[in-house]
Amino acid sequence: MSSDDMRFYETFYGIYTDHWTEDYPSSSTVFSGNHYILVKDYISDACKTTETSVATAVNKFLYPQHISKVYFVEGVITGHITLGASGATSTVTSYRVSLCKIDEADTETELFTTGWVTVSDTLTWNAAYSVGDERVYPFWIDAWEYEKLDEYERLYVKVQVTADNNCVLWHSNDSTWEDLKIEIPLRT
């Protein structure tokens, strides 16, 4: 990169907080009572959080704070999601990760996406030990055309998965695993 490249990279982790919700905007129908949060650093492991969600639901993780008054997303967005079997063997056929924004009028806009990524993975469940396979799926999204965000818009990550009902999306509040991680290139 050239020395005049003013990009900086923010890394976020997806967690589910049990006793804290974020509403944006305050009258939101999309993020009303939202427990899915993007954080820059993991919170105390003593906090009550939920480790998994049904993978086939549309899971949206909101970053509710200001990054800057006005900024642009531009560069390569990288990260990964973690899927696992829960209660029975699960088959995963595709996944899609999108970086989106929401504004004060509750309007959602998809900024960048992986598109649907086709996989053919069987995640096995071991009933004797009550443990299932987990698989990490990396992604890279080319944000070649920049997107502007202002102080009245918030970023969120949307995860969509095509699988049977025994598949879960992991989002543990645990820095050892980094279940859902995304690095976003930004500039002011």
- Token pair belonging to 186: 């930004």
pLDDT digits (tens, 9 = 90+) for 125-151: 999 999 999 999 999 999 988 999 998
The pLDDT of 113-121, averaged and rounded, is 97
Q: How is 15-68 classified by DSSP, letter by letter?
A: EEESS--B-SSTT-SSSTTB-EEEESS---TTS-EE-EEETTS-EEEEE-S-S-
> Percent of the chain having pLDDT more than 90?
82
Helix (H) or strand (E) holding 125: strand 125-126
The domain defined by 8-187 folds into Jelly Rolls (2.60.120)
In three-state secondary structure terms, 70 is strand
What's the pLDDT at 64? 85
Rounded Cα gap, residues 161 and 164, in angstroms: 9
Residue type, 69: K
- Token pair belonging to 176: 């050892």
Question: What are the sequence ranges of the domains in the chain?
Answer: 8-187
pLDDT digits (tens, 9 = 90+) for 56-110: 999 999 998 877 889 999 999 999 999 999 999 999 999 999 999 999 999 999 9
